[in-house]
């Protein structure tokens, strides 16, 4: 990409960020999209969350995928392209590449250049026989550069329970868009966290060392540095709540006093105790996920569950 095109891309992402922040902070329940957590610092903090003792999803899904990958190999034809949504550090990818030499091309898609670039270098070094085609993009938007028509087989991969960040309607819209993007030959492996004891969930999103709190507050730091905001980070506190009626963990940033915050020329009033809703992490049941897939043009053809039904890997096929 030329430097002019890169600069246009940076300007349009900044404008999208600004528009989304102004719209989100203007709602009666203030909110920010979780996709804005992930600048370079946010991606590093996410990797640090994965290492906390409370955050079970990463180690549980990684152990599960070690079993899934050899079983999945029987489904995957040679010359396959692996397309990963929200690839982050691409650590789980290695389990698939190790078990399936028939994957000859890897396309990681991530919104965070800070995560994508080092991950791509590591995969290229470790798998010299695999062609790596990085895509820095927002996977909730159409991706014009994704051309999969020439590949004999396509395997989509969406680990990390990132699908849980969507509302049910957004998840269905994403699965439909992924179906169109991945094309007629696609299989899609999706990792999803399952409903469980709320005490385990709340601890996972509010670790004792405060790494998740720093991750949550990082979005305010980004607004300050990239959009000319004046959030005082000491006046907002991380909160993690289980919302039983919507079967989701929620992360919020709670204002610790009445205050006015500016983003550029725009002013936003906060009452003490008012929150900005920054993330949902929906938890699924096997039945509920199957219904979501079906409503989105996919059949659930195989499922693998971690011990104690802590996490699931779902294999979807287009119909």
Ligand X SMILES: C[S@@+](CC[C@H](N)C(=O)[O-])C[C@H]1O[C@@H](n2cnc3c(N)ncnc32)[C@H](O)[C@@H]1O
Please give the residue ranges that form the binding site for ligand X (CB under 6 A). 35, 38, 43, 46, 58, 86-88, 92, 109-112, 115, 138-140, 159-160, 162
Question: What phi and psi values does residue 269 have, to the nearest 5 degrees?
Answer: -90, 135
**Angle at CA of residue 162, ends 157 and 165, nearest 5°:** 145
Q: Does residue 242 sit in helix, strand or coil?
A: strand
Q: Across the strands, what pairs with 254?
A: 237, 275
> Which of 273, 272, 201, 211 lies closest to 240, judged by CA?
201
**Closer CB to ligand X, 24 or 255, in the complex:** 24
- Smallest distance, Å, CB 158 to ligand X? 8
Q: Does residue 131 sit in helix, strand or coil?
A: strand
- Smallest distance, Å, CB 45 to ligand X? 11
**Closer CB to ligand X, 87 or 275, in the complex:** 87
**Closer CB to ligand X, 87 or 255, in the complex:** 87
- Smallest distance, Å, CB 105 to ligand X? 18
- Smallest distance, Å, CB 189 to ligand X? 12
CA distance 199 to 186: 37
CB environment 161-182: b (16+ within 10 A), e (fewer): bbbbbbebeebbebbebbbebb
Who's near 225: CB < 8 A, 6+ residues apart? none
CA distance 205 to 214: 11
**Closer CB to ligand X, 47 or 317, in the complex:** 47
**Closer CB to ligand X, 16 or 274, in the complex:** 16
Contact 21, 263 (CB under 8 A): yes
- Smallest distance, Å, CB 160 to ligand X? 3
What is the distance of C-alpha 32 from the center of its chain? 15
**Closer CB to ligand X, 173 or 256, in the complex:** 173
- Smallest distance, Å, CB 315 to ligand X? 17
């Amino acid at each position: 990409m030329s430097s002019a095109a890169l600069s246009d891309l940076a300007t349009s992402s900044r404008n999208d960020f600004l528009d989304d922040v102004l719209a989100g902070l203007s709602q009666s329940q203030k909110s920010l999209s979780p996709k804005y957590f992930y600048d370079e610092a946010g991606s590093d903090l996410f990797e640090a969350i994965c290492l906390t003792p409370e955050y079970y999803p990463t180690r549980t899904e990684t152990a599960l995928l070690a079993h899934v990958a050899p079983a999945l190999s029987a489904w995957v034809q040679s010359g396959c392209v692996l397309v990963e949504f929200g690839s982050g550090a691409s650590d789980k990818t290695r389990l698939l590449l190790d078990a399936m030499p028939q994957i000859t091309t890897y396309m990681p898609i991530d919104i965070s250049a800070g995560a994508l670039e080092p991950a791509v270098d590591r995969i290229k070094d470790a798998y010299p026989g695999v062609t790596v085609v990085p895509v820095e993009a927002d996977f909730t938007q159409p991706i014009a550069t994704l051309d999969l028509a020439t590949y004999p087989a396509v395997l989509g991969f969406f680990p990390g329970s990132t699908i849980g960040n969507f509302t049910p309607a957004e998840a269905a819209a994403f699965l439909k868009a992924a179906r169109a993007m991945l094309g007629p030959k696609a299989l899609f492996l999706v990792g999803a966290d399952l409903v469980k004891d709320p005490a385990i969930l709340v601890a996972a999103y509010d670790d004792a060392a405060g790494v998740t709190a720093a991750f949550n507050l990082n979005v305010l730091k980004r607004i300050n540095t990239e959009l000319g905001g004046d959030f005082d980070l000491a006046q907002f506190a991380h909160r993690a709540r289980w919302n039983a009626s919507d079967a989701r963990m929620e992360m919020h940033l709670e204002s610790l006093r009445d205050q006015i915050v500016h983003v550029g020329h725009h002013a936003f009033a906060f009452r003490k105790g008012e929150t900005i809703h920054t993330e949902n992490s929906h938890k699924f049941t096997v039945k509920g996920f199957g219904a979501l897939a079906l409503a989105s043009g996919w059949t659930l053809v195989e499922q693998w569950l971690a011990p104690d039904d802590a996490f699931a890997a779902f294999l979807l096929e287009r119909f």
